[in-house]
Structure 1
Amino acid sequence: MTIPLYSPGLHKLVTLEVQQEEKLISSESFIAFSEDLILKYNLETVGINTHDFENNSFTIAICLKESHICIHTWPEFKQLTLDVYLCNYLQDNTEKVKEITAAYISYFDAKVLKDFEINR
């Protein structure tokens, strides 16, 4: 039996500690930053779903033609979880996933608490 060489893509899951509370409560700023990244990396947005909670935290799912970017914030704990996955259908997007995740870590000026990579 031959094992196929195709890899569906890299999926990064990180938990970050963020001291700047305004970045954990501003869904609009996160979306604007994300839209810039999406343009920079030539990705295609299918849809964006946002929910702002009563405590000013937010959850956002950005559905991409290539897959997704999702975030959940907890300002009361100074944390967020971020999920970045791009499929490798037409090209290997491994480095894009790593660069996009690094850009978010920089945007939030965050300390990485957990960092998981899943090669799907």
Structure 2
Amino acid sequence: MQGLHLTADLHGCRCAAHWLLDAERLGQACLAAVQAAGLQAVGTLFHSFPATAAGPGGVTATVLLAESHLCVHTWPEQRAVTLDVYVCNFGGDQSPRARALLASLLALFDAEQVHEQALQRGSPHLP
């Protein structure tokens, strides 16, 4: 078991508001990014949260990948987004595809501030 887990915390997103508010539209953009990166979607869940006193409700877009998953959470009242991309490298190194997927989403949200992290998961020595 090995894999690359990428996360990014985005603040000051300058994208159009619908990317932060419209679960179905964001989900379709995620599916297009997955396909463009050469990964395989096998399931989805796109969810809108209700507005609160703090502002409009955000969305979560989750794409289950044959290689693992993509998850996007938005906070429109803060113009913030968290991204989570995890790929398993069981049949081959999927790391370049994971990085391409993350880059595509970073471009979509056009954030003023981005904090990225990468974690190598698993061990090459385990069966």
TM-score after normalising by structure 1? 0.85
Aligned positions of 1:1-120 closer than 5 A: 8-17=2-11, 18-20=13-15, 21-55=17-51, 56-120=57-121
Q: Distance in 2 between matches of 1:99 and 1:29?
A: 20
Shift of 1:109: 1.5
Shift of 1:36: 1.5
Could you list the structure 1 runs, at least 4 aligned residues long, displaced by more than 6 angstroms after superposition.
Answer: none
C-alpha offsets along residues 39-65 of structure 1, whole Å, 9 cap, x if unaligned? 223322221112201123111221111
Q: Which runs of 5 or more residues in structure 1 are unaligned?
A: 1-6
RMSD: 1.5
Q: Distance in 2 between matches of 1:112 and 1:101?
A: 15
Letter paired with 2:40? E
C-alpha offsets along residues 85-106 of structure 1, whole Å, 9 cap, x if unaligned? 1111111011111111011010
Q: Which runs of 5 or more residues in structure 2 are unaligned?
A: 52-56, 122-127
- Contact in 1 for aligned 2:27/2:62 (Cα 8 Å): no
Q: Distance in 1 between matches of 2:45 and 2:86?
A: 16
Q: Distance in 1 between matches of 2:10 and 2:21?
A: 14
TM-score after normalising by structure 2? 0.81
- Contact in 2 for aligned 1:44/1:65 (Cα 8 Å): yes
Q: Distance in 2 between matches of 1:108 and 1:97?
A: 17
- Over 3 Å counting, the alpha-carbon distance change for 1:54 and 1:113 in structure 2 is same
